[in-house]
Structure 1
Amino acid sequence: MALNVKVNLPDQSCNANSVIHSMPCKIHHDGEANITGFFSPYVENKDTDFIDKADTVLEASFRGYPLQGKKIKIPNSFKGIVVNEMKKPLTDMEPRNLNIKKTFCEITYWNWDCFPNKNDSIHQSVDWLLLSKMIHETA
């Protein structure tokens, strides 16, 4: 089934001050959240002898669960966006209108069961963006 989506995209560059985290959990809430009481600040992990030294692994905890994370920059020719849908359509045939709530240049993603690596889906997504651009660019 094809999706009919209209994104209201204002002309703005990515916001370097936006802090975006991808967490390995599902929370049944839609909207703003005050996470400061549940998500402790991250620290650099210096004891990672078995991973690439160029990668800085971050450590944090969420509600007592330990997390390992990594920051990923969005490629220069792309922009990360957070969208908001005010009203969902009644049928699949109607277009969905999404408004941009925030833009970002970098995302921090977290794993709870392993150290971040190139096989994580978020890494593969960024790699696919670059590969797709190369394939579809006109010479």
Structure 2
Amino acid sequence: MTKHIANWKLIKQIAIEWMSKNKNKAISLEDLEKLFIAKHPERNPVNVSLDTRMLTVNSNSRLSYLYIFGCPSSGKKIRNPHLENNKEAEYPRKSSEKNEKDFFFHIETEDSSLFERYNSEKHGEWKIELDRNNINKLKNI
């Protein structure tokens, strides 16, 4: 039995391959979806857009995944009431190329939605933190 690989990992792999062949040029969401369908016809492509945005440091959509995919950071720990059994999540969580889920940076154009490989020197650092109402917020720092 083969081990199941999450769609977001496949998307990331597709992007790495495509970018290495195209001189690290940004890829459109449309191209990512087409490549995903071509490489993995047995998979449902419905979440390619959502999974891509989950991997994007400057996408507010990733805030929805924080409770599932939040990773440790150097920030202080707080209790997150949305987690089962009062598990703790660490905040603030800063972006880092070392974090496997901090992969893309989103560039919006008139014609398309482009995603390039995240580079903190070029794109700056991004932080996920809780505001006064315990709502996740994304901030460029």
Taking structure 1 as the reference length, what is the TM-score of the superposition? 0.25
Higher relative contact order (Cα pairs below 8 Å, separated by 6+ residues)? 1
Which protein is richer in strand relative to its size? 1
Greater C-alpha Rg: 1
